[in-house]
Amino acid sequence: MTTHQGSCHCGRVTFEVDGEIDSALSCNCSICQRKGSLLWFVPRTSLRLSTPESDLASYTFNKHVIQHRFCPTCGIHPYGEGKAPNGDAMAAVNIRCIEGIDLAAVPVHHFDGRSK
């Protein structure tokens, strides 16, 4: 299993995440469309913050079920937290924040979050 390193733009938020990036999701909901994230879903236990969680800011909206986590200094959104359909804790990691990723090589699936 590969361990990836990632961060926000200014480096205040750093993390490691385990897994193989075989695809990403591009969502057109009101927040994702504005952020432009490419999301990779992993169990929350696969994501390890090097930064204390108290150093991150969080935003929720609509049903308040997803914590959109971001750096309060540079504003970059490295990941979000929520529950998988089976109730397990999950993280949606923005692969644009992971070092050394060839984004052109990652298949992107488009999700119609706007209609949900």
Q: Are 90 and 42 in contact (CB under 8 A)?
A: yes
Cα angle 84-100-111, degrees, rounded to a multiple of 5: 35
pLDDT mean over 63-87: 93
Residue type, 72: P
Using alpha carbons only, give the angle 27, 30, 34 rounded to the nearest 5 degrees. Answer: 80
Q: Is the pLDDT of residue 1 over 90?
A: no
Say what the pLDDT of residue 100 is: 96
Tokens of 67: 């914590």
Give the tokens for residue 22: 């075989």
Helix (H) or strand (E) holding 31: helix 30-35
| Residue located via tokens 């804790």 | 89
57 contact partners, CB below 8 Å, separation of at least 6: 69, 70, 71, 72
pLDDT value, residue 110 = 93
Q: pLDDT-derived band of residue 115, with 50, 70 and 90 as boundaries?
A: confident
Do residues 28 and 112 lie in contact, with contact meaning Cβ atoms separated by under 8 Å? Answer: yes
Domains in the chain: ranges and CATH: 3-115 (2.170.150.70)
pLDDT at 63 over 90: no
